[in-house]
Structure 1
């Protein structure tokens, strides 16, 4: 069972959310600098932006498969359609809490 801010999420709901999150969020692979084991500052920022764009692309693809507009989707998750546009373009980062909310709206 998953725990939300409103209490426990049922097992069926939890499984649906888990599979939704797995579909939307790509696995993060740690890329380390060969010499010291750490990212250079620019590399870390670029990696995060590419992850944001990947999550946004997956979000857009999923929304399109569901056949709903950005406006309808935004109302379902409680944000403006402009915010959905920014998520889909990778301009704004989708928080973990928002990912769960998005998955709950689809379930």
Structure 2
């Protein structure tokens, strides 16, 4: 009879080869970089809005800026579906993945930054 091998006594790291681990680390680094970029975009957008809520004589309500991306916690992701605080306009800064996989009610404009990963 042929002896079967099992992975019962092995940890996931024993099973995954080094190349897979490097690929996984690369994905994690990329996600962390995207998270940092999203947070920076939200800060920049919010700062710009604070500077000028009056354009060509038209006054605008301040922005309520929220990010959304894959590794953002579920609780923080859910905020984009809630109404913004009174007297503000919701501005969602999203990755292209988030843009194509969710629907947010009452969206009036979508601005694509045109960034392409190479």
Pair in the same fold by TM > 0.5: no
Under a length normalisation based on structure 2, what TM-score does the superposition of the two structures give?
0.32
TM-score (norm: length of structure 1): 0.34
More helix as a share of residues:
1
Structure number having the greater strand percentage: 2
Q: Which has the larger radius of gyration?
A: 2
